[in-house]
Chain A
Amino acid sequence: MSTETIPKVSDSNHGCGNNEGCGCKSTKPVNNEKMDRRSALAHLIKGAVVGAAAMQAGCKPGDWEERSIKWEEYFKKNFRVMSNKERDESVKRLVRLAEMENGKKVEISYKGPTKGVLYGYAFNISKCKGYMDCVDACVKENNLDRDSNMQYIRIFECENGNMNLEDGKGDFYHQVPAEGHFYMGTQCFQCENPPCVKACPVGATWKEPDGIVVIDYDWCIGCRYCQSACPYWARRFNWKSPTVPAAEINPKQHYLGNRSKKKGVMEKCTFCIQRTREGQLPACAEACPTGARVFGNLLDPNSEIRYVLANKKVFRLKEDLGTQPKFWYFMD
């Protein structure tokens, strides 16, 4: 477009009614006459028909289904207030969306907590050798975005004599264990007094009765207040739409766990809610070859986690903040 001079009222047929230069920058003369109702309607209807035809021609049949599902999904309620019927309907839509996107049939459970169960986790610093089997298993189990290398678990290589994780290296890649170093892992600690829950302005994250702090991915607005509130940097944000190669997708999913998320929402470790609520160990605990990870029910006095808490010298990170994490560290 060439640079336009502001047309003066006198040298155009602008009917703007402005006495000074109208400033519309349009050189197209506007008809000053009033149109009669009949021809105005005729114009509008013709335009609408042409527009609708264009839309129909441009839309593929799949697009329409996808769009109508996403429309319905947009208006659903927060998970906590949905009835089971509404949850079932939402699950049906999500399963269909996943099928359309990847061609893979997934199952999304929303199984609730079990009474008498409170999950706890212990990490043995003496045993961790930095093998990173846990990280690999977590990425695969939880359908984490591959492009951005999203990882819930962080393993730090620390120098002997320095327990400060801020000095640890999280990006090591050499034969492990390295001489003169030890290894410590962090992930979401599922605090009993979680600061992230308090920070969320919309109630998209909360602590479940079995102790897991969960996120309703479709309620999250992506403000990241929770990420700044978490003292352990446990929460992850989807800067892009997460993608997993179809062959690697884990089809056993949970509504509050490892189902596929969208761009602009938070996610984090959920102690593999899709596994632990079915009595299975989380993927990290199962994958660890040295037995450094202990997981179980804190309310069962005969559980392994209770044995560790009773017999080992355990500690937690940033104890002074009062977050009451349910993830303890110990040594042999």
Chain B
Amino acid sequence: MLKRIFPFYMLVVCALLVGCKQEGHSSHHSLLKEIEMAPRVPVKSDAFKKVPPLAAKQFVLVNWEHPKRTFYTTKRKGQLKRFKCSGCHTSKITKRNEVQFKATHSDIVVQHAKKGVLQCTTCHDSSNMNLLRTPSGKKVSFDRSYELCSSCHSKRANDWAGGGHGKRIKYWAGQRAVKTCTSCHNPHKPLFGKRWPKTYFRLPTKKH
């Protein structure tokens, strides 16, 4: 009896051994695991010739600790209409004076944190209006305003350095250049507002 069934039995065993492998894909590892385990094939430096070398004058180099990243971010001083602040601000300001505030910079609306948390001198260095200052008193250039933002928004800033927050400029290849915080966020009113969508979806009418 066993003699007769033996070839059939072997056929079934062989089919099970051979047939269960998925095409070109190891069934035991997730795609992420496979990517992590893949041998590192360096991308040739001339692979993306159409990516121009970075115009370093418009960027500052950032060396970040957590995560360890080196990248470029946009300068801001050239984009600020009223820079240098010392053009008007020659004397020290101590506290926001409602009357004086309304007369100049009247277009600035502060909607950043709850009322009473921030005021001008929280971020602006009153002894040198061309600089910002962190809560610990460290002076920060307008081109490196991310150092100020990250002193409160540390997790967000780490994401920005790693790539989970913010915006890369134009190219995914080549030297990494990202927008700085204030390229997207108005520091006085950082949240994005409501607006109409750029386009919409509609099913085509039956004309064609």
Contact = CB atoms under 8 A, between A and B. Distances in A.
25 contacts: A117-B47, A129-B192, A131-B197, A135-B198, A135-B201, A136-B198, A139-B199, A171-B200, A240-B208, A278-B51, A279-B48, A279-B171, A280-B50, A286-B170, A291-B166, A294-B164, A295-B168, A295-B172, A299-B40, A301-B40, A302-B69, A304-B163, A304-B164, A307-B162, A322-B22
A312 to B, nearest CB: 6
Size band of the interface chain A makes with B: 35 or more
Interface in B15-57: 22-23, 25, 31-32, 35, 38, 40-44, 47-48, 50-51
B44 to A, nearest CB: 7
A151 B67 contact: no
B207 interface: yes
Contacts of A302: 69
B195 interface: yes
B26 to A, nearest CB: 11
A296 B172 contact: yes
Given A132-B197, A177-B194, A324 B44 contact: no
Contacts of B194: 175-177
Contacts of B159: 311, 332
B43 to A, nearest CB: 4
A298 B44 contact: no
A193 B25 contact: yes
Which secondary structure dominates chain A's binding surface? loop
A147 B208 contact: yes
Interface of B: 22-23, 25, 31-32, 35, 38, 40-44, 47-48, 50-51, 67, 69, 159, 162-168, 170-174, 176, 179, 184, 192, 194-204, 207-208
Interface centre among A129, A151, A280 (most CB of B within 10 A): A280
Interface in A125-149: 129-133, 135-136, 139, 147-149
Given A279-B48, A291-B165, A299 B200 contact: no
Interface of A: 114-118, 124, 129-133, 135-136, 139, 147-149, 151, 154-155, 170-177, 192-193, 239-240, 276, 278-281, 285-286, 288-291, 294-305, 307-309, 311-312, 322, 324, 326, 330, 332
Contacts of A136: 198-199
Contacts of B184: 289-291
Given A147-B207, A280-B51, A291-B165, A132 B198 contact: yes
Contacts of B167: 288, 291
